[in-house]
C-alpha cells in the first residue's frame, strides 16, 4: 500500500512538468498574443490602445522575450510557489486564484455531497423496487436530469426566481459581502446563495449516478451469494446494505478522480451564466485573452487536483474493497 | 479606434515623406491680411456675406483662435457647499475645509437642476480591458467637450491660447487645484511627467503621438506655477482637441501630467533605492515598477483628479465589485456652489456575460449604463422599464457608417479587376436593401447612407455625398453588372472574363453594431443580382491580421467615424489599400506605391494638422468629397446608437440629459456631465 502511494507520488512530478509544457504551448498556439487581444477588446468598444501603453505593457511583462525564456521564468517562479502575474489583471496569479479556488472546491464538495446523498439511496431504492411506480418515477426524473443541459436549467431557474420573487440570483454572495473579508456572516451569506448552483450542478450528476447505482446493484442482486445470505435468514435490508451495495458502489468511488475536473468544465457555462466567482470563468477568460500565466497556472492546478483525486479514489477503493487491496 | 490608429501611424510614417513640404507656406502674406479680418467681425452680419468669406478663407486663422478662446462661463458662485460626508470629515480634521480643497476659480459645471448629495450609481463591467467603463464616466482632462460636442470647454485648464501661428500653446491652470491626496496640482506636474517620464527612453520608448508634429516632439515649459507652455516645430492647430484626449490613466505617455510629488518615490532620479524596492515587489526593473504604480488598476492609491476615485482595496478588473468614491478635492462646482459630484460612489459588478447585464437592468440593479448595452436588447429593456424602475434613452453616435464595405483595391486575383471598377461598386451599392437592414438590424434607428461624416460635424460634405448610390435599385444594379459581367453560369451567378464564377468573400467580425446576420442580408442582396458572396466570420485578431497582409477581398468595418481634427480619418489607408501604409512607413522600400488619388488624399490629410480650424474644415470637406466619390468603401447604415448609445437610466437619477454627443473621442457619457447627476428619493 505504502509503495503504491509512493510510486504514484513519484510519477506525479513528471506528469505535472509535461502538463505545464503542454498547457503553455497550447495557450501560445492561437494567432496573436495577449496584447493583440487587448487591442481588440478596446476596439470592441470603439476605443483604441495607445501605442505607448502597449509598449510599456510589453516591457512590464517581458512579452518580447522568446517563448522558452518566458516559460522558464514561469516554471522557476512556480517552484517558489509564485505563479507569476496575470497579464490582464496585472496582479499576482496567487492572489487571483486563492479565493476562487477555495470557492470552487467548496462548491464542488457541496455538489458532490448533494449528488451522493441523493443518488445512492435513490439508486438502491430503484434497484430493490425495480419496475415499481416509484422506480418509474425516479427513472423518468433521472432521464430528465441527464437530458437537460444544466446551463439551461440555470437560466430557467434564474428566470423563474426573477419572475416570481423579483430577485436576480447571480453570484455566491450578497453585494455587501462580496468584497468583505471572511467572517461568520459571510459564510452564512454564502450558504444562502450556494444551494442554487449546487442544485443546478448536482442535477446532472445525481441523475447519472442514480442510473449507475441502480444498474450496478441490479447486476449484484441476482447473484448466488445474495440468495445464500437470504436463505440463511439475514434481514433483507441489512443484507442489501452489507453485501451487494458495497460492490455496486465501487465504480462510483472510482469516479472521484474526475469528479472535480468534470465539475469544472461542466460548471463553466453555469458559472458564466450565473456569474459565479469560481475558477471556471476565470480560466475561460484567461484562455480567451491569452493571459498565459493565469491560464497555465489554472490548468496546472486542475491537473494537480485531478491527479490527487485519482490517487484518493484509488486509496478509498482499496480500503472499501479487500479484493483490490490484495491484488495490489 | 482603428481609424485613429491609422491616422497616428500615418502621421509617423509621413514624418520623412513630408519634411520638405512643411515649410512651403509663406507666413508673410498672412500678416498683411490680418488687419482686413479685424474689420470684419465688427460688422456682426458677416454671416450673410457668404461669398466674401469664401474668398478670404485663407486669412481667417486669427479670427478663429478667438472663437475657440471665447468660452462662456457661468459667473462663479461665491460660497461653496459640500457633501455632508465630507463636511463631517472636515469637521473631524481629517481633510481641510471646503474652500481649501477646491481652486479659487473652480470649474463651474452647470447643473440642470440643483440636487442633493448621496447615492450610488450601479453599473456592470467586464474586466481590466474594460478600463474606459470607468475612465469615460469619471474623466480627468485639461479640456473637455460640451454636451453637444460643438466646442471644447475648460476643465482642469481654465483657459488656453495659441501664439506663434499655432506653434505655441499656453494653458492656464486653476490656482488651488489639488490631487485626490491633497497635493497641489501645478505646472511642476507637467514638467516632471515630460522630462522624467516622456523623455526617458526606457519608460517611454514610443513618444506620445499627440505631442508630435512633423518636426518632432514638442517641448513643455513651466512659465509659473499655474501656466504651462507647449512649443512645437510646426503649426499645430488641432492641439487642443488632441490634449483633450490625453487622459489615459495607465501607460507612460498619453497624459500631459503626473502626480509628481507622489510618483517621484518610484523614479530613480529621486529615489536611489527604487531598483531594490522594484525587485522586492517582483518587478523586472524600476521602470516596470513605475509604470505599474502609475496604473490605477494596480495601484488605486495613485493620486487622481477624477470626480470619483477607486477605494483603497478595489482592483479594477479583478475585484468582483469595484467601487469608486467621491474625490474630496474635485475641482468643479455647479452654479449653486455645490462641490461636485453629487453622487457618492460608482459601483461596478464584474460580469462575464451580456445577458447578466440585461437581467440586472430589468431587476433594477443598474442605475446608469450605455456601455455594453446592445441595440438588440432595446425592445426587452424598454418593455420592462416600469418593473425595473428605469428609462431608456438614445444617444445616437456620429459614426458615418457602422457597416463600411471595404473593397481591396490591391487584390491580385482576377476579382481585383472588378473591385477596381467603380461602376461595379456602384452596382453593388444599389443592390443593397438598406432600409430592410436598418429595420432588422438597427430597429430603424440608423440612417441609410454612405460613410460620410455625420451631418452634425462641420466637415459634413453635403447630402449629395452622403446619400449618393444608396437607393435600393436591383434593376439598375443588374443593368450595370450586365455591362461588366454579362455571362452567367447555370446557377445564375455571374462569370468573370476568365470563365470562373465571381465569388466574393466578405471578411467580418461581430461587434460595434456589426452582426454577422446583417452581412448575410447584404450577401443575399448581392446574390440576388448574380454576385456569389460568402460571409466569412473570423475573430477580430485574425481580421486585422488578414487586412494588414492584404488577404481580404472585402472587409467589413466602420467608416466615417468622427475625428477630433474635423477632417475625415484616412480610411483609405486601411482595407482599400492595405499595402500603402507600409509603403509610406518604409519610405517606399516595401509595400505598394499608392495610386495618384491616394497620394493626393494622403497629402491633403497630412496638411490638415497644420491648419487653423476653418481652413481645416474646408480641407476636411474636400477630403470627404474626394474619398466618397471613389466609393472604395460602400456605406450601409450609419448614425445609429448601436455603440454605447442605448442608455439605461434609473428613474431616481436626475439631470441625465435626453441627448448628448456620443463618440469615443468625447468620452461619452462625459458629455452628459455625470458629475451633476443626482438621486432623488
- pLDDT on residue B91: 94
What are the pLDDT digits (tens) for B348-374?
Answer: 998 877 888 888 899 899 999 999 898
Q: Tell me the chain A residues in contact with residue B318 when contact means C-beta distances shorter than 8 Å.
A: 86, 89, 91, 95-96
Confidence band of B65 (pLDDT split at 50, 70, 90): very low
B129, B253, B365: residue with CB nearest A41: B129
Percent of chain B past pLDDT 90, that is, above it, reads: 60
| B376, pLDDT greater than 90 | no
Residue B251 forms contact with A (CB below 8 Å): yes
User: Which CATH fold would you assign to the domain A96-327?
Assistant: MetI-like fold (1.10.3720)
Say whether B251 and A47 touch across the interface (CB within 8 A). no
Report d(CA B93, CA B330) in Å as an integer. 18
Say whether A179 and B254 touch across the interface (CB within 8 A). no
Confidence band of B39 (pLDDT split at 50, 70, 90): very low
What are the pLDDT digits (tens) for B129-145?
Answer: 788 999 999 999 999 99
B209, B251, B315: residue with CB nearest A91: B315
Q: Mean pLDDT across the stretch B5-9? A: 43
Q: Tell me the chain B residues in contact with residue A91 when contact means C-beta distances shorter than 8 Å.
A: 298, 315, 318
| Burial status of residue B385 (CB atoms within 10 A of its CB: 0-12, 13-18, 19 or more) | middle
Distance (Å) from the alpha carbon of B438 to chain A's nearest alpha carbon = 20
Q: Mean pLDDT across the stretch B577-583? A: 87
User: Which residues between 285 and 314 in chain A have a beta carbon less than 8 angstroms from any beta carbon of chain B?
Assistant: 285, 289
| B59, pLDDT greater than 70 | no
| B463, pLDDT greater than 60 | yes
Which residue carries 440636487 as its cell?
B115
Lowest mean pLDDT among A219-223, B248-252, B288-292: B248-252
Confidence band of A46 (pLDDT split at 50, 70, 90): low
Report d(CA A223, CA B369) in Å as an integer. 67
User: Which residues between 326 and 385 in chain B have a beta carbon less than 8 angstroms from any beta carbon of chain A?
Assistant: 347, 349-353, 355-356, 359-360, 362-363, 365, 371
A31, A281, A285: residue with CB nearest B542: A31
Distance (Å) from the alpha carbon of A23 to chain B's nearest alpha carbon = 21
| A90, pLDDT greater than 80 | no
Q: Tell me the chain A residues in contact with residue B367 when contact means C-beta distances shorter than 8 Å.
A: none
Which residue carries 478662446 as its cell?
B69
Distance (Å) from the alpha carbon of B69 to chain A's nearest alpha carbon = 28
Return the DSSP state at B128: G
CB pairs < 8 Å spanning A and B? 162
- Three-state SS annotation for chain A: CHHHHHHHHHHHHHHHHHHHHHHHHHHHCCCCCHHHHHHHHHHHCCCCCCHHHHHHHHHHHCCCCCHHHHHHHHHHHHHCCCCCECCCCCCEHHHHHHHHHHHHHHHHHHHHHHHHHHHHHHHHHHHHCCCCHHHHHHHHHHHHHHHCCHHHHHHHHHHHHHHHHCCCCCCCCCHHHHCCCCCHHHHHHHHHHHHHHHHHHHHHHHHHHHHHHHHHHHHHHCCHHHHHHHHCCCCHHHHHHHCHHHHHCHHHHCCHHHHHHHHHHHHHHHHHHHCCCCHHHHHHHHHHCCCHHHHHHHHHHHHHHHHHHHHHHHHHHHHHCHHHHHHC
Measuring CA to CA, which residue among B326, B461, B469 is closest to residue B405?
Answer: B469
The partner residues of B530 in beta bridges, in order of sequence, read: none
Distance (Å) from the alpha carbon of A222 to chain B's nearest alpha carbon = 51
Q: Mean pLDDT across the stretch A119-128? A: 90
Confidence band of B127 (pLDDT split at 50, 70, 90): confident
Distance (Å) from the alpha carbon of A41 to chain B's nearest alpha carbon = 6
| B451, pLDDT greater than 60 | yes
Q: Which residue has the higher pLDDT, B70 or A168?
A: A168
Residue B613 has a CB neighbour count (10 Å cut-off) of 21
Residue B312 forms contact with A (CB below 8 Å): no
Question: Containing H/E element for B601?
Answer: helix B596-608
Q: Tell me the chain A residues in contact with residue B545 when contact means C-beta distances shorter than 8 Å.
A: 31-32
| B10, pLDDT greater than 60 | no
Distance (Å) from the alpha carbon of A20 to chain B's nearest alpha carbon = 22
Q: Calculate the average pLDDT of chain B.
A: 85
Say whether B298 and A38 touch across the interface (CB within 8 A). no
- pLDDT on residue A73: 84
Lowest mean pLDDT among B29-38, B223-232, B267-276, B449-458: B29-38
Q: Determine the 3-state secondary structure of B137 from DSSP.
A: coil
Buried b / exposed e over A40-69, threshold 16 CB at 10 Å, is bbbbbbbbbbbbbbbbbbbbbbeeeeeeee
Q: Calculate the average pLDDT of chain A.
A: 82
Q: Mean pLDDT across the stretch A213-225? A: 89
- Which cell numbers hold the place of A306? 485531478
Q: Which residue has the higher pLDDT, A235 or A169?
A: A235
Q: Mean pLDDT across the stretch B516-522? A: 94
- pLDDT on residue B96: 95
Confidence band of A264 (pLDDT split at 50, 70, 90): low
Residue A170 forms contact with B (CB below 8 Å): yes
Residue A65 forms contact with B (CB below 8 Å): no
A36, A89, A167: residue with CB nearest B318: A89
Percent of chain B past pLDDT 70, that is, above it, reads: 89
Lowest mean pLDDT among B39-53, B392-406, B553-567, B611-625: B39-53
| B454, pLDDT greater than 50 | yes
Report d(CA A263, CA A118) in Å as an integer. 17
B128, B350, B511: residue with CB nearest A88: B128
- pLDDT on residue B48: 39
Distance (Å) from the alpha carbon of B564 to chain A's nearest alpha carbon = 14
- pLDDT on residue A203: 85
Report d(CA B298, CA A60) in Å as an integer. 13
| B263, pLDDT greater than 90 | yes
Say whether A273 and B356 touch across the interface (CB within 8 A). yes
- pLDDT on residue A40: 74
Confidence band of B232 (pLDDT split at 50, 70, 90): very high
A32, A46, A90: residue with CB nearest B297: A90
Q: Determine the 3-state secondary structure of B359 from DSSP.
A: helix
Say whether A50 and B363 touch across the interface (CB within 8 A). no
Percent of chain A past pLDDT 70, that is, above it, reads: 93
Q: Which residue has the higher pLDDT, B540 or B303?
A: B303
Distance (Å) from the alpha carbon of A67 to chain B's nearest alpha carbon = 17
Distance (Å) from the alpha carbon of B6 to chain A's nearest alpha carbon = 11
What number of CA atoms fall less than 13 Å from residue B117's CA on the CB side? 18
Q: Mean pLDDT across the stretch B289-304? A: 91
Distance (Å) from the alpha carbon of B7 to chain A's nearest alpha carbon = 12
Lowest mean pLDDT among A225-239, A281-295, B93-107, B464-478: A281-295
Say whether B284 and A60 touch across the interface (CB within 8 A). yes
| B532, pLDDT greater than 60 | yes
Confidence band of A101 (pLDDT split at 50, 70, 90): confident
Say whether B664 and A48 touch across the interface (CB within 8 A). yes
Residue A45 forms contact with B (CB below 8 Å): yes
Going from the N-terminus, what domains does chain B have, and what CATH number goes with each?
Answer: 84-395+644-679 (3.40.190.10), 405-638 (3.10.105.10)
What are the pLDDT digits (tens) for A150-171?
Answer: 888 888 888 888 788 767 677 7
Lowest mean pLDDT among A307-321, B104-118, B348-362: A307-321
What number of CA atoms fall less than 13 Å from residue A247's CA on the CB side? 15
| Backbone dihedral angles phi then psi of residue B335, each to the nearest 5 degrees | -70, -10
Confidence band of A315 (pLDDT split at 50, 70, 90): confident
Say whether B1 and A47 touch across the interface (CB within 8 A). yes
Q: Tell me the chain B residues in contact with residue A179 when contact means C-beta distances shorter than 8 Å.
A: 313-314, 319-321, 323
- pLDDT on residue B34: 35
Say whether A51 and B209 touch across the interface (CB within 8 A). yes
Confidence band of B564 (pLDDT split at 50, 70, 90): low
Lowest mean pLDDT among A234-243, A251-260, B401-410: A251-260
Q: Which residue has the higher pLDDT, B53 or B94?
A: B94
Q: Tell me the chain B residues in contact with residue A51 when contact means C-beta distances shorter than 8 Å.
A: 8, 206, 209
Say whether B129 and A42 touch across the interface (CB within 8 A). yes
Say whether B318 and A86 touch across the interface (CB within 8 A). yes
Query: Domain locations in chain A?
Result: 96-327
Residue A113 forms contact with B (CB below 8 Å): no
Distance (Å) from the alpha carbon of B351 to chain A's nearest alpha carbon = 6
Confidence band of A265 (pLDDT split at 50, 70, 90): low
For residue B44, CA distances in Å to A142, B37, B49 come to 85, 13, 11
Confidence band of A149 (pLDDT split at 50, 70, 90): confident
Q: Mean pLDDT across the stretch B607-620? A: 86
B2, B4, B545: residue with CB nearest A31: B545
- pLDDT on residue B140: 93
Q: Which residue has the higher pLDDT, A201 or A2?
A: A201
| B642, pLDDT greater than 80 | yes
Report d(CA B303, CA B185) in Å as an integer. 10
Measuring CA to CA, which residue among A17, A84, A23 is closest to residue A296?
Answer: A23
- pLDDT on residue B497: 93
User: Which residues between 402 and 421 in chain B have a beta carbon less than 8 angstroms from any beta carbon of chain A?
Assistant: none
Supply the ipTM of this predicted assembly: 0.74
Q: Tell me the chain B residues in contact with residue A47 when contact means C-beta distances shorter than 8 Å.
A: 1, 132, 664
Distance (Å) from the alpha carbon of B356 to chain A's nearest alpha carbon = 7
Identify the residue among B359, B371, B514 best suited for mutation to test binding to A, counting A beta carbons within 10 A and taking the highest.
B359
Residue A272 forms contact with B (CB below 8 Å): yes
Amino acid at each position: 500500500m505504502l509503495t503504491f502511494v509512493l510510486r504514484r507520488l513519484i510519477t506525479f512530478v513528471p506528469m505535472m512538468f509535461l502538463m505545464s509544457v503542454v498547457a503553455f504551448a497550447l495557450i501560445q498556439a492561437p494567432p496573436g498574443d495577449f496584447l493583440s487581444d487587448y487591442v481588440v477588446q478596446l476596439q470592441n468598444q470603439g476605443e483604441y490602445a495607445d501605442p505607448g501603453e502597449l509598449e510599456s505593457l510589453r516591457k512590464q511583462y517581458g512579452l518580447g522575450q522568446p517563448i522558452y525564456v518566458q516559460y522558464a521564468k514561469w516554471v522557476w517562479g512556480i517552484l517558489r510557489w509564485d505563479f507569476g502575474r496575470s497579464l490582464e489583471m496585472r496582479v499576482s496569479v496567487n492572489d487571483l486564484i486563492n479565493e476562487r479556488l477555495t470557492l470552487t472546491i467548496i462548491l464542488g464538495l457541496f455538489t458532490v455531497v448533494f449528488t451522493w446523498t441523493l443518488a445512492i439511496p435513490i439508486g438502491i431504492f430503484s434497484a430493490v423496487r425495480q419496475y415499481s411506480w416509484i422506480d418509474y418515477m425516479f427513472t423518468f426524473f433521472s432521464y430528465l436530469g441527464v437530458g437537460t443541459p444544466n446551463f439551461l436549467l440555470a437560466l430557467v431557474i434564474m428566470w423563474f426566481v426573477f419572475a416570481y420573487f423579483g430577485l436576480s440570483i447571480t453570484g455566491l454572495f450578497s453585494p455587501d459581502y462580496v468584497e468583505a473579508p471572511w467572517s461568520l456572516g459571510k459564510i452564512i451569506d454564502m450558504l444562502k446563495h450556494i444551494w442554487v448552483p449546487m442544485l443546478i450542478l448536482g442535477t446532472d450528476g445525481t441523475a447519472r449516478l442514480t442510473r449507475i447505482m441502480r444498474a450496478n446493484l441490479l447486476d449484484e442482486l441476482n447473484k448466488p451469494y445474495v440468495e445464500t445470505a437470504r436463505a440463511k435468514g439475514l434481514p433483507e435490508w441489512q443484507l442489501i446494505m452489507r453485501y451487494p451495495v458495497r460492490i455496486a458502489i465501487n465504480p462510483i468511488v472510482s469516479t472521484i478522480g474526475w469528479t472535480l475536473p468534470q465539475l469544472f468544465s461542466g460548471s463553466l457555462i453555469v458559472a458564466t451564466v450565473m456569474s459565479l466567482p469560481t475558477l471556471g470563468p476565470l480560466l475561460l477568460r484567461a484562455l480567451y485573452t491569452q493571459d498565459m500565466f493565469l491560464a497555465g497556472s489554472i490548468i496546472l492546478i486542475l491537473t494537480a487536483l485531478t491527479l490527487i483525486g485519482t490517487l484518493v479514489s484509488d486509496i478509498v477503493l482499496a480500503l472499501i474493497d479487500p479484493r483490490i487491496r490484495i491484488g495490489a | 479606434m482603428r481609424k485613429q490608429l491609422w491616422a497616428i501611424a500615418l502621421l509617423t510614417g509621413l514624418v520623412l515623406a513630408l519634411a520638405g513640404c512643411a515649410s512651403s507656406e509663406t507666413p508673410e502674406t498672412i500678416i498683411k491680411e490680418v488687419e482686413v479680418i479685424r474689420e470684419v467681425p465688427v460688422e456682426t452680419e458677416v454671416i450673410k456675406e457668404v461669398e466674401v468669406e469664401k474668398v478670404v478663407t485663407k486669412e481667417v486663422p486669427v479670427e478663429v483662435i478667438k472663437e475657440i478662446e471665447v468660452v462662456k462661463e457661468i459667473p462663479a458662485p461665491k460660497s461653496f457647499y459640500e457633501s455632508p460626508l465630507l463636511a463631517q470629515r472636515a469637521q473631524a480634521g481629517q481633510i481641510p475645509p471646503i474652500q481649501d480643497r477646491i481652486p479659487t476659480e473652480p470649474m463651474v459645471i452647470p447643473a440642470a437642476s440643483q440636487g442633493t448629495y448621496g447615492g450610488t450609481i450601479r453599473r456592470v463591467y467586464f474586466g481590466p480591458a474594460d478600463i474606459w467603463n470607468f475612465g469615460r464616466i469619471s474623466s480627468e482632462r485639461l479640456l473637455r467637450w460640451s454636451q453637444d460636442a460643438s466646442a471644447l470647454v475648460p476643465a482642469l485648464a481654465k483657459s488656453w491660447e495659441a501664439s506663434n501661428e499655432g506653434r505655441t500653446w499656453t494653458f492656464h491652470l486653476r490656482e488651488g487645484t489639488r490631487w485626490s491626496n491633497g497635493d497641489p496640482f501645478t505646472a511642476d506636474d507637467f514638467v516632471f511627467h515630460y522630462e522624467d517620464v516622456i523623455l526617458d527612453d526606457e519608460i517611454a520608448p514610443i513618444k506620445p503621438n499627440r505631442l508630435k508634429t512633423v518636426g518632432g516632439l514638442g517641448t513643455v515649459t513651466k512659465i509659473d506655477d499655474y501656466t504651462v507652455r507647449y512649443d512645437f516645430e510646426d503649426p499645430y492647430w488641432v492641439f487642443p482637441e488632441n490634449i483633450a484626449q490625453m487622459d489615459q490613466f495607465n501607460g507612460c505617455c498619453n497624459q500631459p501630467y503626473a502626480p509628481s510629488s507622489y510618483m517621484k518615490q518610484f523614479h530613480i532620479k529621486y529615489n536611489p533605492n527604487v531598483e531594490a524596492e522594484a525587485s522586492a515587489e517582483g518587478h523586472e526593473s524600476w521602470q516596470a515598477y513605475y509604470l505599474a504604480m502609475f496604473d490605477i488598476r494596480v495601484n488605486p492609491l495613485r493620486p487622481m483628479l477624477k470626480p470619483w476615485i477607486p477605494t483603497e482595496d478595489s482592483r479594477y478588473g479583478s475585484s468582483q465589485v469595484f467601487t469608486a468614491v467621491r474625490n474630496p478635492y474635485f475641482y468643479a462646482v455647479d452654479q449653486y456652489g455645490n462641490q461636485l459630484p453629487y453622487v457618492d460612489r460608482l459601483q461596478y459588478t464584474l460580469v462575464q456575460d451580456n445577458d447578466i447585464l440585461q437581467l440586472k437592468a430589468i431587476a433594477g440593479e443598474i442605475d446608469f449604463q450605455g456601455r455594453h448595452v446592445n441595440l438588440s436588447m432595446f425592445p426587452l429593456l424598454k418593455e420592462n422599464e416600469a418593473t425595473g424602475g428605469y428609462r431608456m434613452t438614445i444617444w445616437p453616435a456620429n459614426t458615418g457608417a457602422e457597416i463600411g464595405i471595404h473593397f481591396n483595391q490591391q487584390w491580385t486575383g482576377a476579382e481585383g479587376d472588378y473591385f477596381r471598377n467603380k461602376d461595379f461598386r456602384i452596382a453593388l451599392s444599389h443592390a443593397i436593401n438598406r432600409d430592410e437592414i436598418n429595420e432588422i438590424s438597427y430597429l430603424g434607428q440608423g440612417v441609410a447612407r454612405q460613410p460620410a461624416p455625420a451631418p452634425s460635424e462641420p466637415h459634413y460634405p453635403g447630402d449629395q455625398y452622403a446619400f449618393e448610390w444608396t437607393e435600393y435599385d436591383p434593376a439598375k444594379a443588374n443593368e450595370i453588372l450586365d455591362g461588366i459581367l454579362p455571362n452567367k453560369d447555370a446557377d445564375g451567378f455571374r462569370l468573370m472574363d476568365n470563365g470562373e464564377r465571381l465569388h466574393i468573400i466578405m471578411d467580418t467580425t461581430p461587434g460595434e453594431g456589426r452582426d454577422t446576420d446583417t452581412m448575410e442580408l447584404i450577401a443575399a442582396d448581392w446574390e440576388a443580382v448574380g454576385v456569389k458572396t460568402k460571409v466569412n466570420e473570423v475573430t477580430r485578431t485574425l481580421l486585422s491580421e488578414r487586412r494588414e497582409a492584404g488577404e481580404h477581398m472585402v472587409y467589413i468595418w466602420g467608416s466615417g467615424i468622427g475625428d477630433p481634427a474635423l477632417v475625415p480619418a484616412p480610411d483609405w489607408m486601411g482595407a482599400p489599400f492595405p499595402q500603402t501604409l507600409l509603403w509610406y512607413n518604409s519610405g517606399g522600400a516595401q509595400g505598394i506605391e499608392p495610386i495618384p488619388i491616394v497620394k493626393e488624399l494622403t497629402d491633403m490629410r497630412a496638411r490638415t494638422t497644420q491648419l487653423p480650424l476653418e481652413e481645416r474644415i474646408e480641407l476636411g470637406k474636400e477630403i470627404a468629397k474626394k474619398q466618397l466619390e471613389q466609393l472604395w468603401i460602400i456605406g450601409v447604415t450609419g448614425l445609429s446608437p448601436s455603440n454605447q448609445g442605448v442608455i439605461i437610466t434609473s428613474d431616481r437619477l436626475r439631470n441625465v440629459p435626453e441627448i448628448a454627443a456620443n463618440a469615443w473621442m468625447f468620452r461619452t457619457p462625459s458629455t452628459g456631465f455625470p458629475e451633476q447627476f443626482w438621486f432623488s428619493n
